[in-house]
Homo-oligomer: A and B are copies of this chain.
Amino acid sequence: MPGLVPATGLAAWRNFLKAHAAAISLIETELERQGLVPLTWYDVLIAVSDSPGRRLRMRELARELVLTRSGATRLVDKLEAARLVKRERAGDDRRGANVVLTRGGSWALRRAWPIYAKGINELFVSVLTADEAAAVADGLGRVARNARARSSSSV
């Protein structure tokens, strides 16, 4: 039944899935315990914050977070209701909406980061050797770029 995937590759894939599920789940729990924004909200805030001009089109946000457009809409609805982001009509193309951080959004981002960073360190970085971290960064970086390239072409 196996044999279609080399053993090391399959082990890498399985551990990749297990590591993701377990680590995300723990970080999520810890953020909630501390009364901070959930990880999905954090993803929105950081994506907007890292964008040129600190504003991001809905379309780009969806692509960035690997969500559907409607998923992005719902998510931003909640963040907007919580006053962490605002939508503003795009100047050049009035179909589009830009998401921008409010003051509260920047604050929530700064406040969550230390806890998130602690999770990343304790559960991920500190468990890896330097070589492994480099290999993960390079290899999975290529995996991500490659998969995204295929997504856009197949859509």
Give chain A's interface residues, CB within 8 Å of chain B. 1, 4-6, 8-13, 15-23, 25-26, 29, 65-66, 110, 113-114, 117-118, 120-121, 123-125, 127-144, 146-148, 150-151, 154
Contact = CB atoms under 8 A, between A and B. Distances in A.
Contact of A139 (B23, B117, B136, B148): B136
Contact of A8 (B17, B137, B147): B137
Given A9-B124, A12-B136, A121-B5, A23 B113 contact: no
Chief secondary structure at chain A's binding surface: helix
A144 B20 CA distance: 8
Given A12-B128, A124-B16, A4 B117 contact: yes
Q: Oligomeric state, in number of copies?
A: 2
A147 B6 CA distance: 26
Contact of A6 (B12, B125, B132, B143): B125
B124 A13 contact: yes
